[in-house]
């Protein structure tokens, strides 16, 4: 469905929140900002270093972008649309997450089995956390007490106490976990397992795997909305949907080529997907389970992380 149809749909959603997508384009070395109400790009910000991971602060003031080739994190003023800082972190920064109070930024170092800890105000690395091999996706519980990392080459998830920067649990999951998402209650986490083509469901309190959901080829990341899980299947060009209560598959939705980053809007009504090979965002109606729009972005969009920003 074209942009006009998407605008008509959104016009009918009177309660829809105004949001923007901050999309890392790895091949064009930049960040595209997309207004999700008008379905139009509103800014392109040069980043460099093959940007991949992205996280928007809870207050919406900043977007933090990882650049593996530059070994750095770029700080972007979200409203002004400009770079306001650059933090050298070393190694291979990939996944990124922000504490709920926006005071701390966590960056996964793909090469060092480490998560770098950044003081957001000082814009510098102040600590490190030992995790498993090749940490990729990161997520913080809503209370800020725990950090979870998907440790790809250990087929596990590390659960770290953020107050002391020490692991307190290791959960074995499927093969090659990459993206990780925590539910709004902070009770369960979901990993997209690239190697075993499934999603692991983790009980955070007991640090154990509750079950697995079969999805498509090479799942990358997971979004949650409407009591459902949405999973980007890179090699299939689809999003797999499953029921969070029963863990039963519901539907597979065709999106662009090689979908990667995925996130639900704040109201849970839409799912936004970055398609690496199509250079587009697909917008899915989370209730009707169908694509309702497409937006052109930069070259090689990954949008790995929490890339949506509330603007109202």
pLDDT tens, position by position, 33-89: 999 999 999 999 999 999 999 999 999 999 999 999 999 999 999 999 999 999 999
The number of distinct structural domains making up the chain is 1
Distance between the two ends of the chain, CA-based, in angstroms?
A: 26
CATH number of the domain encompassing residue 213: 2.130.10.10
Arithmetic mean of pLDDT, 130-142: 98
Count each helix (H run) and each strand (E run) in the chain, helices first. 1, 29
Q: d(Cα 266, Cα 263) in Å, to the nearest integer?
A: 9
pLDDT in tens, 75-118: 999 999 999 999 999 999 999 999 999 999 999 999 999 999 99
pLDDT in tens, 138-170: 999 999 999 999 999 999 999 999 999 999 999
Identify which of 147, 143, 115, 118 has the alpha carbon closest to the alpha carbon of residue 131: 115
Q: d(Cα 29, Cα 50) in Å, to the nearest integer?
A: 5
pLDDT in tens, 174-198: 999 999 999 999 999 999 999 999 9
Whole domain around residue 26: which residue ranges? 3-310
pLDDT for 1 beyond 80 = no
């Amino acid at each position: 469905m074209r942009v006009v149809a998407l605008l008509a749909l959104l016009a009918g959603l009177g309660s829809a929140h105004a949001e923007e997508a901050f999309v890392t384009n790895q091949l064009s070395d930049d960040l595209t900002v997309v207004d999700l109400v008008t379905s139009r790009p509103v800014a392109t910000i040069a980043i460099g270093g093959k940007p991949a991971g992205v996280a928007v602060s809870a207050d919406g003031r900043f977007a933090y972008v990882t650049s593996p080739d530059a070994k750095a994190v770029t700080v972007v003023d979200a409203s002004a649309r400009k770079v306001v800082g650059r933090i050298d972190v070393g190694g291979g920064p990939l996944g990124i997450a922000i504490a709920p109070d926006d005071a701390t930024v966590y960056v996964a170092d793909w090469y060092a089995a480490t998560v770098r800890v950044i003081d957001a105000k000082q814009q510098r690395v102040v600590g490190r956390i030992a995790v498993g091999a090749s940490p990729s996706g990161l997520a913080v519980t809503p209370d800020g007490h725990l950090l979870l990392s998907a440790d790809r080459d250990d087929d596990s998830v590390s659960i770290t106490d953020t107050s002391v920067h020490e692991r307190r649990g290791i959960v074995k999951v499927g093969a090659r976990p990459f993206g990780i998402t925590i539910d709004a209650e902070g009770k369960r986490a979901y990993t997209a397992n690239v190697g075993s083509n499934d999603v692991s469901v983790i009980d955070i309190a007991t640090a154990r795997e509750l079950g697995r959901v079969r999805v498509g080829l090479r799942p990358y990341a997971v979004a949650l909305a409407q009591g459902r899980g949405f999973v980007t299947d890179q090699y299939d060009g689809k999003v797999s949907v499953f029921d969070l209560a029963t863990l039963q598959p519901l539907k597979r939705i065709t999106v662009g080529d090689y979908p990667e980053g995925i996130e639900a809007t704040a109201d849970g009504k839409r799912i936004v997907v970055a398609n690496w090979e199509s250079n587009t965002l697909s917008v899915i109606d989370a209730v009707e389970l169908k694509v309702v729009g497409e937006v052109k972005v930069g070259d090689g969009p990954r949008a790995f992380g929490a890339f949506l920003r509330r603007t109202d």
